Amino acid sequence: MKGYLILEDGTKFEGNIFGKKRNSVGEVVFNTGMTGYQETLTDPSYYGQIVILTYPLVGNYGITLEDNQSEKPKVRGFIVREASANYSNWRGRESVDEYLYKNDIVGLEGVDTRALTKLIRENGTMTGKIVAYDDGVDVMDEIKSFDNSDAVHQVTPKFNYDLMPITPKVAVVDYGIKRNILSALVNRNVHVRVFSCFDPPEKILDFNPDGIFLSNGPGDPAFLKKEIETVKFLIGKKPIFGICLGHQLLAHALGGNTEKMKYGHRGCNHPVKDLAKDRVFITSQNHGYQVVEESLDRNVLEITHLNMNDKTVEGMKHLSLPIFSVQFHPEASPGPSDSDYLFDEFLNMIKKENKNVNI
């Protein structure tokens, strides 16, 4: 059946509905990865967003639960050029169409995704609505009233939990973490305790962690006043490693600022230069905000990584405290594992601060 994407500037794209027949409003963004659609669908950082995939054929290797990055999809909608009705993969258990239907997510295929992506690249990220039927609601009023500022609070866990109860101990603050980040730590024999973003810093420190990890997550970091205050409290208490949203919250806690990007970085093919290693790595990314370079106090922080496409800040470290962060996803999933070494650098930093830790 026919369906439409209507953007806040009034532009309409026609396609065919698949997955669940429903209407849905969200921030329309694009992802440039050639594979990894299941990881994208289940990445909590996409909460509240309608995701376009620029690669034209999606779904040909099906869905397998082992690749989920959270318990269910977090996107508001899924837009592709062609959704494969059949899949061929020994791990595959169901089609993308079946998976979206089961999880109440609307898909739109047959869309000119190239034209749609170019429009967003030129005009910036926009809110939009996938329309599967006339619900009697004024589309533009609904689009203009869309608010995703509470995204982190919707994806943070409702209770704390532990993985691998051995040493060293790492407290993970979950703003919308992907499962493969936890796997990257557990596979290094780390005792992980996952905390909600609602947990006070005193509760995190009562765990007596050897290090603190600040996770990825959705939305605008500037709205997260309480979370920024928590990070401020933790600074200087334990070694800290932040990625994506965690990187941005650290910047705010250390006196910096962030700003919304025109269309963000989303995909698994973004080149980033590690300035210390003088080497470019291909990274997986998913964010719509960036740390403002000019806002960082260079007497306190050193920039460690730069994006090779637009020269935005991709990493920083504290000059006197055991703190560092990156904007990209070193665990990938999907994407290359080029920057997986950052988890080892985090553990080495913990070992340097606490010689009694067995790593």
Report residue 72 as tokens: 């269910």
CA distance 296 to 316: 10
Q: Which run of H or E residues covers position 334?
A: none
Instruction: Count other Cβ atoms within 10 Å, centred on residue 84.
Output: 17
Q: Residues 204, 232: contact at Cβ < 8 Å?
A: no
Residues in the chain, total: 359
Instruction: Tell me whether residue 197 is one of the annotated catalytic residues.
Output: no
The DSSP bridge pattern shows strands 313-318 and 323-326 to be: antiparallel
Q: Residues 55, 83: contact at Cβ < 8 Å?
A: no
Give me the DSSP letters along 111-141: --HHHHHHHHHHH--EEEEEESS--SS-HHH
Q: Which run of H or E residues covers position 342?
A: helix 341-353
Q: Residues 159, 172: contact at Cβ < 8 Å?
A: no
Distance set, CA 281 to CA 90, 325, 343, 349 (Å): 31, 16, 15, 21
The residue from 153, 244, 265, 287 that is catalytic is 244
How many helices and strands in the chain, by DSSP H and E? 10, 19
Side chain identity, residue 204: I
Closest by CA to 350, choosing from 212, 210, 202, is 210
Dihedral sign, Cα of residue 139, residue 143, residue 147, residue 151: positive
Instruction: Tell me whether residue 331 is one of the annotated catalytic residues.
Output: yes
Which residue carries 């909590």 as its tokens? 44
Residue 344 makes CB contacts below 8 A (sequence gap 6+) with 188
φ, ψ dihedrals at 24, nearest 5°: -155, 135
Active-site residue set:
244, 329, 331
